[in-house]
Amino acid sequence: MSAQNQMGAERLRQAAALLPGRLREHLEHLPEETQAVVEEIRLRAGQRMTVVTPAGERPVAGCGAALTPQDLSLVLEVATRASAHTALDRVQSGFVTVQGGHRVGLCGTAVMRDGGIHNLRRLSSIAVRVARQVPGAARPVLGQVRREEGVWSTLILSPPGCGKTTLLRDLIRSLSSGEGGPALRVGVADERSEVAALWEGCPQLDVGPRTDVLEGCPKAMGLMMLLRGMNPQVLAADEITAPEDVRALECAANCGVSLLATAHGLDLDDLRRRPLYRNLLELGVFHQVIRLSRDGDRRSCAVLTLET
């Protein structure tokens, strides 16, 4: 097995440690090449366990018994170190980040309070997203992102599942570590704990030694706090989705900070058809777009310079 596949299989084993023993054993018996590429473990009450790979979602061979609500509760107990009641108080985000950077997504019966989701009871589904890194993922485009002593502000664009966050994370790590040029201070507004995955204050995924991470708050607020408090040379955010995100990026760009961000979309024409992204492009805060695409297991990227 290649070093990258070994790393992938090890990350799956780490995530599978959250499961009851009878379920974990079935994952351990998956073919090595499958273990290396599992992206999610899916658990649904009344259904068999499945895994998500680049080829799609499929049942786990030999795991014929339907899962029970008790199985799901046990997973959450293990994931939260027997503090499930505390973790469930934070379910407004829809997930809990656990040691190793793995993310446990939760569904069930919502308990509402003051117009928002306060808690979940009677869990019905759990999605364990296996945290993966691809060291060197940014290498093919790093030379086009760096410029002299700084960075070209860059928007990473692709449909879901093509590796936007993976590329963003490795760009952050590379710039913070000084690969291909001077080391830079990077501030990351990690609203959904997907980039660095802080666990007790420590990033579970490598984002470099000169990176400051603010997670758990809206991106726009996080970008402004980082800009004011941490003196970043580069600001990064995953998935720009709201007008206030665009305004924060514009403010940061006007303060002389370089930007790295991601957006969902097929191509530039797709972005220009949507008012939010059309406005973002028209502001001229990004110099270029890295467009990612995927055909089965194959991924490709293209760097496109934006007109100014």
Instruction: State whether the Cα torsion 186-192-193-195 is positive or negative.
Output: negative
- The Cα–Cα gap between 126 and 132 comes to 18
Q: What mean pLDDT, rounded, does the chain reach?
A: 89
**Token pair of 188, please?**
């990351």
| pLDDT mean over 37-61 | 93
**Token pair of 26, please?**
């079935």
pLDDT the model gives residue 73: 86
- The Cα–Cα gap between 27 and 35 comes to 8
pLDDT the model gives residue 247: 96
> Which residue type sits at 12?
L
Domains of the chain, first to last: 3-129 (3.30.450), 139-305 (3.40.50.300)
| pLDDT mean over 107-124 | 76
| pLDDT mean over 156-169 | 91
Spell out the alpha helix ranges (H) of the chain.
Answer: 3-16, 21-28, 32-35, 69-79, 84-88, 139-145, 164-177, 219-229, 243-254, 268-272, 275-282
* Element (DSSP H or E) covering residue 150: strand 150-151
